[in-house]
Amino acid sequence: MRNIIIKLLLLVLFILFSAFVVFGEEDSAIKEMTKLPEIEYQQIFINGNKEYALIKPIFKDKEKYSEVNKKIDEIVDEKKWVKIEKEMKEDKDNYSQTYTGLMPEITYYDNNIISICFYNEYYLGGAHGGHRIYSIVVNRKTGKEITKDILGANKKDAFDKIYALIKANKGDVFFNVDEMEITREKIEKEAVLFYISKDVIGVMYNEYGIAPYTSGTPEFNYNMKIKKVTFVDGSF
């Protein structure tokens, strides 16, 4: 997808705007809008190649959010892409067709948490490109990452229901759980978690994790208030 750079630039404009407003409808009972802590967005072109473009959010309060900034560094993984871009350059026939783009999105925030997803789209040769999704959820009061804990006491119920949906599908959208040895433990371990709203948690899976490439990156929503799981889609 050669329009990846345009998408990145448009995203920067959106991020700059969204840093000062709250997503969703305005609550008349709230007189002051929730504000995000200062976040700087760094645009990185790997080895100067604009087709290898990453956007990295950095929390400016580096002392409070040191753990979070370190985790973001691991997600962006600039060193990995420097190595890959150099390797791709050696393939002169296909190099001009390769690219990568990594885009962050603040999926939800309030006075207590900030939830960020990272979408990585790339093509490094072969029949098709690939996609990876990462997430990080931050406790605003402590500055610590809490991604694995956001389901709280709902964790067992959520993954039991997600696994039941996948198993009942019998290999239509998802892999057949028996043929591909997809266990309940795997469903929980490989989940990418993020907030969609105060009561709804997004649960996504990367390509080939629980489904074939044609199913994309399957997403489920778990409503913690009514204890319900909904399959959304498999698009990136």
Predicted structure pTM score: 0.85
Q: 206: buried, middle or exposed (CB in 10 Å: 19+, 13-18, 0-12)? A: buried
- What is the side-by-side order of every strand in the sheet holding 192-195? 192-195, 200-204, 219-223, 228-233
* Per-residue pLDDT reduced to its tens digit, 72-83: 999 999 999 999
Look at residue 37 in the predicted model and tell me its pLDDT. 83
- The domains found in the chain, sorted by start residue, are 4-147 (3.30.565.40), 150-233 (no CATH)
Q: 36: buried, middle or exposed (CB in 10 Å: 19+, 13-18, 0-12)? A: middle
* Per-residue pLDDT reduced to its tens digit, 174-217: 998 888 889 999 999 999 999 999 999 999 999 999 999 989 89
- CB within 8 Å of 148: residues ≥ 6 apart: 193
Calculate the average pLDDT of the chain. Answer: 87
Look at residue 234 in the predicted model and tell me its pLDDT. 65
Tokens of 110: 């309030």
- The arithmetic mean of pLDDT across residues 84-90, rounded, is 94
* Per-residue pLDDT reduced to its tens digit, 42-74: 999 999 999 999 999 999 999 999 999 999 999
| Stretch among 62-71, 128-137, 162-171, 201-210 having the lowest mean pLDDT | 162-171
Which residue bears the tokens 């009514």? Answer: 226
Q: 87 pLDDT exceeds 60?
A: yes
